[in-house]
Amino acid sequence: MDEVLSPGQQIKATLEIGEVLELLKTHYGIDTQTVVELDAYDDRNYRVELTSVSVADNPYILDKVPKHGYILKIINSLDSKDTQFYEAQSELLVFLEEKGIVCPIPVKQRDGAYFSTVTLKSGKSHLLRLLIFQPGEILGNLAHVSAALLSNLGSFAATLNLTLQGFSHPGYANRTSLWILQAVTRLRRFVSALKSDSERELVESIVREFEARVLPVHESLDRGIIHGDLNESNVLVGDSKAEISGVIDFGDSHVNCYVFELAVCLCYMITKANDLGMARHVIDGYKSVRPLTAGEREILKVCVCARFAQSLTLGAYSHSREPGNLYLVRDADDKWALLRKLWKTRESRIRSLWGIDGDE
């Protein structure tokens, strides 16, 4: 599937809580009044806590009702067209659970399917799926991120990538979206949402550099299935605040080069720490499991900048469409400051700062 979001396109589901409750009862046999909508970009996500379950209507959750409830996801109308991807993602999550990696587990509907496409009262069709909620503290909620935590996140990211080498599914063969890193070139269609000429010029400079240095080589780099969005909201931490206990939201998982996984993670951890130098701890942890090649070290800085550009530009665009959703522009001022500093710092200085200036 190669269709991606176009400016002005409305893809987020429109519905009231009452309709959400109807969907839960009809498709999953779940009767509850405790549903809370969570922050999201293009999908609708709901935390579902149980008051009662009609197990006779859904034998697949008999004796398997999770203590912490579920996450109901109503997928945006664009991604809902790619049903093979959601078949693949469901199987991937089951695979990771079997490998001991904590992640959301898909729940079968009353007919035994992991998802279905439903037509809402709005008249639009959206894919419906339910996942077991994984408890744990979100990394983004921590007041402080330690060097140990960042190192453990880096090693976790590399371990996740290597573990997924044992999984394959045709649903990942052609998966694409506006959020995959090589789609940074498509930001030119959305930069009008940025508020100043200096912001637009910075994004354009990054896009040009990415086109010149990354696009010609990225398909030759080591690659496989990656999570695609290891940000501070998608990582669970343990009680010690230094261990990674799980990972959630595989909606951006796809096949790509492994250095993109690291670059995406670095963008968000630099922001969380508010310090360019803290990236070294993530990189050190990653390298302890999977060493970086010379080609990957060569493009890492521009890849990190590209993710900053994506996050800021698409966040600004989505916020222009949904002004009340401040989640879409969270940390924007800090990100712009960090991106400007990173972009103007010499490549040699960044490689030294991040510990990637020598042989692996």
Q: In order along the chain (360 residues), what is the average pLDDT of each group of 10 residues?
A: 65 95 93 89 92 69 80 96 97 98 95 97 97 95 97 98 98 92 96 96 98 97 98 96 97 97 98 98 98 97 98 95 89 96 97 87
Helix (H, G, I), strand (E, B) or coil at 169: coil
- Per the CB < 8 A criterion, the answer to whether 118 and 130 are in contact is no
Phi/psi of residue 188, nearest 5 degrees? -55, -25
Residue 200 is predicted with a pLDDT of 98
Looking only at the bridges linking them, the beta strands covering 34-38 and 30-31 are unpaired
Are 127 and 43 within 8 A, CB to CB?
no
Q: CB of 108 within 8 A of CB of 27?
A: no
Question: What is the set of domains in the chain, with CATH numbers?
Answer: 17-135 (3.30.200.20), 138-354 (3.90.1200.10)
Burial of 324 (0-12, 13-18, 19+ CB in 10 A): exposed
CA distances for 264 relative to 110, 133, 258, 327, angstroms:
37, 24, 10, 18
CA distances from 39 to 44, 56, 293, 330 (A): 8, 32, 37, 11
Q: Judge whether 117 and 13 are in contact, CB under 8 Å.
A: no
pLDDT, tens digit (0-9, with 9 covering 90-100), for 53-82: 555 578 888 666 788 899 999 999 999 999
The pLDDT score that the predictor gives to residue 7 is 75
Q: Encode pLDDT of 242-287 as tens digits.
A: 999 999 999 999 999 999 999 999 999 999 999 999 999 999 999 9
pLDDT for the residue 174: 87
The model carries a pTM of 0.94
Report how far Cα 306 is from the mean position of its chain's Cα atoms: 15
Separation between Cα atoms, residue 240 and residue 254, nearest integer Å? 31
| Beta carbons within 10 angstroms of residue 170's beta carbon | 10
